[in-house]
Chains A and B, each alone.
Chain A
Amino acid sequence: MRPIKKHGLLRELSIHRQAYLLALAGLLYFLVFNYLPMVGVIIAFKNYRLNLGIFRSPWNGFQNFRFFFTSGHVWRVTRNTLMLNLLFLGCGQLFQVGIALLLNEVRSSAYRRVSQSLMFLPYFMSWVVVAVIAQGFFGTTTGVLNNTLAALGLPAVRWYNTPGIWPAILTGFTIWKWTGYGVVIYLAAISGIDLEYYEAATIDGASRVQQVAHITLPLLVPTIIILVLLAIGRIFYGDFGMIYALVGDNGVLFPYTDVIDTYVYRALRQQMDFGMAGAAGLYQSVMGFALVLLSNWAARRVRPDAALF
């Protein structure tokens, strides 16, 4: 690329005005829907009152942060949020990449299409529906699993009273729900790989396994890194829809399932205090932002071309 001469913003705008004009619609969208609302962050520092609105409500310093940070639960819910999301992310990527690679090797296109559709199906199912199905599986007295255990002569397990098992159950459900979605992305990325690499490898006598390990996988890494980086930005946000539907307020399971979002929801759902909820949300955003910067920095050190910025 030719080095660009430095000049003022206005001159730059007028030289490339057509390009900027094209981008205008997109920029406006982000300005209106993503940047303007950020002003609302001040709600975290205000004693928000509905009749006064965001700007006229009185300031109250760090009062709103008190409830969350003095609760003694910050560590547990932050740890659970990170642990569960890392599990979801790690296992999720493993399954998505793995199954995409396997499906790519399948010759019969009919088989491929059918299995892809079947895998995609859970993506459309609401967590509330899944929760009902889960009760059918894990119910203590009438659940499928315990009935199977009983048929095998094994003792029943009180799934809804055993917190330690729930990270695994939740991870299982995320994999079940998201694999089909991820596979589509990775298959698209794989189909973008130049076939000449494979031809060259075949001529050199590389086996299918060697081709996957030395061509497909390395060329997928940039896609994997970008998807992981995007996910890391939201790693401080628990999957509220899923965890609340599946676990609800079953307090026995909290030691392993209580995440920041469920904690804040439980604490504030009857109070309607936008300030305190805003404070907790701000904590999540700031931590998530820091983590994105950190992991982007790490990604750039490993592979400069794969980093987001």
Chain B
Amino acid sequence: MKRLILVLAVLFVSALAFAGSTPEKASTTPYTIQAIFPGDTPIDFDIVLREAEKRMAGTVNAKLDFTFIPWSDYGEKIKLKFAGGDAFDLHLNAPWLHMNELISQGALEPWDEMLKKYAPGLKARFPPNWFEANTFNGKIMGIPLGNTLGLIRGVYIRKDLRVKYGLEKPDTFAKYEAYLRTVAKNERGIIPLSWEGSKFSIEEFFVGPPNGLVYTFGQNTASVLIYEDAKGIKPILPIYEDPATLEWIQMVRRWYVDGLVDPDVLSMMDEKGAFNSGRLASAKGDAHLMSPVQSVLEQAVKGAETEFVHFYGGGFKPKIPSDFKQWNFLCLNAKSRNKETVTNFIEWIYADQANYDLLQLGIKGKHWVDTGNMTFDYPAGVTLAKNYNFPGYVLLFNPLYDRDFAKALAEELQWKKVLKDPQFYTASRLMGFNANYDNIKTEIAQVAAVWPEVVYPLVAGAVDPTAGIAKAKKALEAAGYLKIVAEAKRQIEAHLARK
């Protein structure tokens, strides 16, 4: 028996040893920076990485090993890699993935020390407030990635259909509804409006307050909406008492009953694909992201044109309160074996516009050409589908380095110019606010489990508002939603008091 125990012990110890790691060897051999990003591996990616290594030689002693994981598996794979103690260096994370959880579990290395020691000039290469507004409990937990300072949200419609029926460009809900009705009546086979109704709410694309900010406390499926306008933070209410949401529910119910909203909205799996292929007459959209949509749409449907529509009223006041929060972050694994080299690499990207261009657009002359004034175009004869196409938001996006596509839609370029300009914004009272969910984990889990059942059908118009609101209130309160609302109030008040 003793021997058996001994054998077991040996097995156990050797199993543990597998999990341990081997120390890094001498520093003359280049360090391999391992990074993990979501999406598909860009075409010619290897060529670009080897070229980058060549240009880095002498400055940064590193090889680049970047892996792309399809979006559908990305979240799970990252979780597994952390749970398994994998020592990769960089990856994309975000509060809408599991960044807050990783931080509270100590899995990410703060950049503060690293930047101070190894890349002291880096912060100055980003717009003002860029890092300050995106700290987590006062620390830089990820390098904020984005090519604009904010978002203008609204909906895409089909300009060709609108013109065909002699309608003017909608800037009010009434005009937009008229567009939907015309499509429903005349265009059989085209669904007027749909979205991935069991994954997202769409109302914020319609009812975000003009010249204001909506902040989501909690997560998508357990959220408390916090509104801010020029006057201040509005009272914080449960979702079923929020005036903007209630107004939306009434309107969307009418649309749903009248057949303007897809009857299968709750099972829609790919709204982008549906709009891009011409099956939808309208979908939610961002002002500065029109061109990619248009280029796919016009190939699928001859003569089709995308148009961006918003309901903020005519004549935008150019002072939007913004918390300058970015959506995506480049995070450093606490287990990374050579944080100095990794930081040096980040500094190298922004040391020269040419370095940024190389990673973002590929090799000059082969993948893109400089058309001056911070714009670019593709060389003659290059097919987009077979060209280098790097999703910049996973590694390097920076509004000051980002080039616009010279042939983008004029409307999009206009929006982008506005969105990249700090003048357009005022600092929100919520700047630097970090939510902490440690005390309400159980409540968030329980609310998240019922949210798709009681809230999403309601905000999609699929159920009767009166009964639906009562049902949502009952189910959410039973799951502890009011504790999340109270926690939101408490944390926001504490944040405002600190200021």
Which A residues fall within an 8 A CB radius of B? 9-10, 28, 31-32, 36, 48-53, 66-67, 70-73, 131-132, 135, 139-142, 158, 160-161, 247-252, 254, 258, 263, 266-274, 276
Contacts and interface: CB of A to CB of B under 8 A. Distances in A.
A271 B189 contact: no
Given A50-B102, A248-B198, A248-B269, A67 B442 contact: yes
Given A250-B452, A271-B437, 12 more contacts: A36-B15, A67-B445, A71-B449, A71-B479, A132-B269, A135-B269, A251-B453, A251-B456, A251-B457, A266-B449, A268-B445, A271-B101
A250 B98 contact: no
A263 B449 contact: yes
Given A141-B191, A248-B269, A276-B441, A50 B457 contact: no
Interface in B79-123: 79, 82-83, 85, 96, 98, 101-102, 104-107
Interface size class of B (residues with CB under 8 A): 35 or more
B102 A272 contact: yes
A158 B449 contact: no
B262 A50 contact: no
A158 B452 contact: no
Interface string B442-466: 1011101111111111000011000
Given A9-B1, A71-B479, A160-B264, A249 B452 contact: yes
B contacts with A: majority SS:
helix
A72 B441 contact: no
B263 A158 contact: yes
B83 A160 contact: no
B11 interface: yes
Contact of A271 (B11, B266, B444, B462): B444
A140 B263 contact: yes
A49 B106 contact: yes
A52 to B, nearest CB: 8
B220 interface: yes
A51 B221 contact: no
Interface string B189-227: 101000000110000000000000000000111000000
B316 interface: no
- A48, A252, A268, A276: which has the most chain B beta carbons within 10 Å? A252
12 contacts: A9-B1, A36-B12, A50-B83, A71-B446, A158-B263, A248-B198, A248-B269, A251-B453, A269-B75, A271-B441, A273-B441, A276-B442
A49 B263 contact: no
Contacts of B442: 66-67, 70, 276
Contacts of A161: 263, 266, 462
A267 B264 contact: no
Interface string B234-270: 0000000000000000000000000000111011010
B219 A270 contact: yes
Contacts of A271: 98, 101, 219, 437, 441, 444-445, 448
B334 interface: yes
A264 to B, nearest CB: 8
B478 interface: yes
B99 to A, nearest CB: 10
Given A141-B191, A142-B189, A272-B79, A249 B456 contact: yes
Contacts of A258: 453
Contacts of B4: 9
A51 B96 CA distance: 21
Contacts, number: 135
B446 A67 contact: yes
A252 B266 contact: yes
Contacts of B456: 249, 251
A73 B437 CA distance: 23
A266 B264 contact: no
Contacts of A32: 11, 15
Given A271-B444, A272-B102, A251 B198 contact: yes
B200 to A, nearest CB: 10
A28 B454 CA distance: 49
A251 B266 contact: yes
Contacts of B441: 67, 271, 273, 276
A67 to B, nearest CB: 4
A139 to B, nearest CB: 6
A6 to B, nearest CB: 16
Interface in B53-98: 75, 79, 82-83, 85, 96, 98
B98 A270 contact: yes
In the A-B complex, list the 4 residue pairs whose CB atoms are closest, starting with the nearest.
A51-B106, A251-B453, A249-B198, A272-B101
B11 A31 contact: yes
B262 A141 contact: yes
Contacts of A49: 104-106
A36 B445 CA distance: 30
A70 B441 CA distance: 13
Interface string B6-37: 00100110010000000000000000000000
A251 to B, nearest CB: 3
Interface in B339-394: none
A263 to B, nearest CB: 6
B101 A267 contact: no
Given A141-B191, A263-B449, A72 B220 contact: no
A266 to B, nearest CB: 5
A267 B12 contact: no
Contact of B106 (A36, A50, A66, A140): A50
A270 B98 CA distance: 6
Contacts of A31: 8, 11
Contacts of A10: 1, 3
B369 to A, nearest CB: 39
B264 A249 contact: no
Nearest to A9: B1
A279 B262 CA distance: 39
Nearest to A262: B449
A96 to B, nearest CB: 30
A251 B101 contact: no
Contacts of B267: 135, 160, 247-248, 250
B198 A267 contact: no
A139 B263 CA distance: 9
B96 to A, nearest CB: 8
- A10, A135, A250: which has the most chain B beta carbons within 10 Å? A250
Contacts of A250: 198, 266-267, 452
Contacts of B199: 248-249
B454 to A, nearest CB: 7
